[in-house]
Homo-oligomer: A and B are copies of this chain.
Amino acid sequence: MSDTREPMSVGRLEAFSDGVFAIAITLLVLEIRLPAGEGDLLDKLAHLWPSYLAYVISFLLIGMIWMNHHRMFHHIRRVDGTLLGLNVLLLMSVSFLPFPTHVLAETLHDRHDSQTAAAFYGVVLVIGGVFYNAVWCYASIGHRLLGDTITPDEARTLRIRWGMGPVLYLVATLLGLWSAAASLVLYILLLVFYFFDLRPRRAGSAPTP
């Protein structure tokens, strides 16, 4: 049956992944709910600040993962079944994020519960980060599925760089057990650093064709 085991194209895998990223990021807003009951609307809206904060952090984190995912697949030239399976596990973790985001937003007013919620949020990110790195390690070790847009040395540099992700998320998880606020600050620092780092740095950089 070898001829029927044709591999999936990189393009279609990316399109499907993009779809999942776009949906997960847009579903985040559904987790924000106006409290029922009496009361001034302005008070209610102000009281929802944890929801807005959690929305912004999760939106930007998923946006960051999406951009990294694109960068990763820019270098991947072939897809095999293992890569497909690992990528599905990565998407599964990203798609799950609206739930811990909701839990975090709901409990940020409560000191004890917010620690649990921050750790829960962090654990989901750790799992996602591990699957992310599993995809890249599988694709890049031995240059298994890569093309010539990247050298083995550069691929290794990315393994180290991206490998720091789950470590950082683990730190945020442990920090969250002590203070949810502290772990959120760490996510914000991570995002600021990431988006700042996106800025072009080299004067002589070639334009995109």
Contacts and interface: CB of A to CB of B under 8 A. Distances in A.
Contacts of A55: 92, 96
Given A8-B70, A26-B27, A103 B34 contact: yes
A95 B28 contact: yes
Contacts of A16: 18, 21-22, 66
A179 interface: no
Interface in A77-100: 77-82, 84-85, 88, 91-92, 95-99
B2 A205 contact: yes
A46 B157 CA distance: 38
A95 B198 contact: no
Contacts of A78: 207-208
A116 interface: yes
A89 B4 CA distance: 25
A88 B116 contact: no
Interface string A182-209: 0000000000000101111010010110
Interface of A: 1-10, 12, 14-16, 18-30, 32, 34, 40-42, 45, 55-56, 59-60, 63, 66-67, 70-71, 74-75, 77-82, 84-85, 88, 91-92, 95-99, 102-103, 106-107, 112-113, 116-117, 120, 149-151, 154, 157-158, 195, 197-200, 202, 205, 207-208
Given A10-B208, A40-B116, 13 more contacts: A1-B158, A6-B149, A15-B15, A15-B18, A29-B95, A29-B96, A29-B98, A30-B30, A34-B102, A40-B112, A59-B92, A60-B88, A81-B200
